[in-house]
Amino acid sequence: MAKVNDFEQAKDIQYGVGSKQRFPDSANTHYTFPSVDDLLSDADQIAEMVQHHMSYQKPRLLTLRNYFKGNNTTILTGKRRKEEHVADNRATHNFAKYVSQFVQGYMVGIPLKTTYPEETINEKLRDMNRANDADEHNSELILDQSIYGRAYEILYRSQDDQIKFTTLDAVSTFVVYDDTVEMLPIAGIRYMDNQFRDNETIVYVYTAKRIYIFKGNQNLENIKLDREQEHSFDGVPIIEYSNNKFRQGDFEDVLNLIDLYDSAQSDLANYSQDLNDAMLKIVGNLEIDAEEAKDMKEKNILLLRTEANSTGSSIQADAGYIYKQYDVAGSEAYKDRIANDIHMFTATPNMNDENFGGVQSGEAMKYKLFLLEQKRATKERLFKKSLRDRYRLINNIMRVAAEGEFDVNDLTITFTENLPENIAKEMEWFTGAGGRLSNETMLSMLTFIENPLEEIEKIEEEDKNSPLSQPMYDYEVAEQEEVTENE
């Protein structure tokens, strides 16, 4: 595996010098190895793989992060205008954040629900999810998926002997798969700089049975195994969540369009500023000196007193500004076209579109979000696949710790798209037609109720202990006791 320490050089190698391709294919490739034993047999192989990730993949991930944070690298770097005296505004527009946050809210704005048919296991999983704040955790994974095209989580056993899971930084984490058609994970790797020691890098390698900690210098030369420890998950505890087949972010393929919009808006701002600083042009022979001109400027007037020409006749004088004519209407149409293309290719709605707003039913909204629905279906399938891997590892360690066991295939994982729905109108039609719903069904329609059955049990318990349910007179108590004895 060749070591390439410069990202631009990596692009030149793959596409040829001068290529306009933003990222080479190597910037998003999977890492594969025959087996974990072969990988661990030589620490230099691990160092080479991490170095490849730093050189090829990390620049892409950092670029996507910068766009999400509004630091659009293309418009903010380099010199856009040659003249020193003209305006050089750099306007950035955070379409990237809009796209990712919209997708995040659409998919998990209503938290996903994970249920198991056996109540004992269901209660344990529910308590575990609450302890790990699973709703927030899943939301962060969806956001990382949208930004980077991939997200990572790690499972571990805490100091108080609890099962925990948290997200990992996608910029410095990757999973190594075997080279079979199944592409089974054989190791998870994350690396970081030692904040207490300059020029030292720490590499953590997680396998199905053990965790290996390597240390080396910044270039990972002379990398050595520092220590190792066991874990009981019986699987690689770092799980990758892919956004799609190509692990592409939701706004990654419109970065060039975002750059075009930034440039157009910056050019309009430069035009406005250049107009204020435009050069004054005066035509004609004038009786005016520098002090008079300065005084006129301060008083915001311009009095043009002409002098006679060589023949003794008067001449005309004129004044005006020299500036570049700008097609404002054409510029606005151009920017609108770019913005609409960004929304179209990211399958997100343009909230400034007059045809999108208004009071609409959930079904009408679904037709307008048809492309986003197709994207959501793909993201949901891949997320569920990795989510089952999480609970498979949880089941493994619960079995070892004698805390219970369950069949991961029996888990029900439910996503609910976050769309405005006119439930009141549907209920009005249903009840008007003589329909009736159970309490469990009605409670399940409330987004803030996590478990309808649990809520019904609480209601029954409150009713049972309510003063209104207690007998008011002694004879009622006697009648109840008599009924109990007869039973």
Between strands 163-168 and 210-217, the pairing is unpaired
Query: Among residues 312, 310, 319, which one has the least CA distance to residue 288?
Result: 319
Q: Say whether 95 sits in a helix, a strand or coil.
A: helix
SS3 for 379?
helix
Checking if the pLDDT of 2 tops 50, the result is no
Higher pLDDT, 279 or 220: 220
* Res 22 pLDDT > 50: yes
For 319, phi then psi, to 5°, come to -140, 145
Could you read off the pLDDT of 331-390 as tens digits, one per residue? 889 999 999 999 999 999 887 766 665 555 555 666 778 888 899 999 999 999 999 999
Q: pLDDT for 254-278, tens place per residue?
A: 999 999 999 888 887 777 766 655 5
Calculate the average pLDDT of the chain.
83
pLDDT on residue 458: 84
Considering only residues 159 and 235, tell me which one the structure prediction assigns the higher pLDDT.
Answer: 235
**Which among 169, 179, 176 is positioned nearest to 208, based on CA atoms?**
176
Residues 6 or more apart from 297 whose CB is under 8 A from it?
A: none
How far the first Cα of the chain sits from its last, in Å, is 81
The per-residue pLDDT for range 55-91, each reduced to its tens digit, is 999 999 999 999 999 998 888 887 666 666 566 778 8
Over residues 184-189, the mean pLDDT reads 97
Q: 193 pairs with which residues across the strands?
A: 201
As a whole number, mean pLDDT of residues 220-242 equals 94
Under the banding of pLDDT at 50, 70 and 90, the label for residue 196 is: confident
pLDDT value for 4:
45
- Residue 122, number of CB atoms within 10 A of its CB: 19
Pick the residue with more confidence: 283 or 118? 118
Going by C-alpha positions, the residue among 320, 376, 323 that lies closest to residue 348 is 376
**What's the CA gap between 183 and 169, in Å, rounded?**
22
For residue 250, what are its two tokens?
Answer: 């939701």
Q: What is the DSSP string of 292-318?
A: HHHHHHHHT-----B---TTS-----E
Q: Which residues of 218-252 are buried (b: 16+ CB within 10 A; e: fewer)?
A: eebeebeeeeeeebebebbbbbbbbbeeebbbbbb
pLDDT(477) > 60:
no
Q: Is 23 exposed, middle or buried (0-12, 13-18, 19+ CB in 10 A)?
A: buried
Q: How far apart are CA 394 and CA 404, in angstroms?
A: 10
* Helix or strand holding residue 346 (H, E): helix 328-346
- Provide the whole-model pTM: 0.77
pLDDT of residue 355: 62
Name residue, tokens 């008007």: 432
More reliable by pLDDT, 453 or 320: 453
Residue 289 has pLDDT above 90, yes or no: no
Q: Is the CB of residue 378 less than 8 Å from the CB of residue 244?
A: yes
Average pLDDT over residues 183-188: 96
Predicted pLDDT of residue 277: 57
Whether 10 shows a pLDDT value over 70: the answer reads no
Q: Looking at residue 472, what is its pLDDT?
A: 53
- Say what percent of the chain tops pLDDT 90: 50
How much is the average pLDDT of 300-328? 69
Rounded CA separation 249/255 (Å): 11
Amino acid at 385: K
Q: What integer pLDDT is reported at residue 197 of this predicted model?
A: 76
Average pLDDT over residues 159-187: 95
In percent, how much of the chain has pLDDT > 70?
A: 77
Alpha carbons within 13 angstroms on the beta-carbon side of residue 180 total: 8
78-133 pLDDT per residue, tens: 766 666 656 677 888 999 999 999 999 999 998 999 999 999 999 999 999 999 99
pLDDT at 194: 79
Question: How many of the other CB atoms lie within 10 Å of CB of 63?
Answer: 20
Query: Quick one: pLDDT at residue 1?
Result: 39
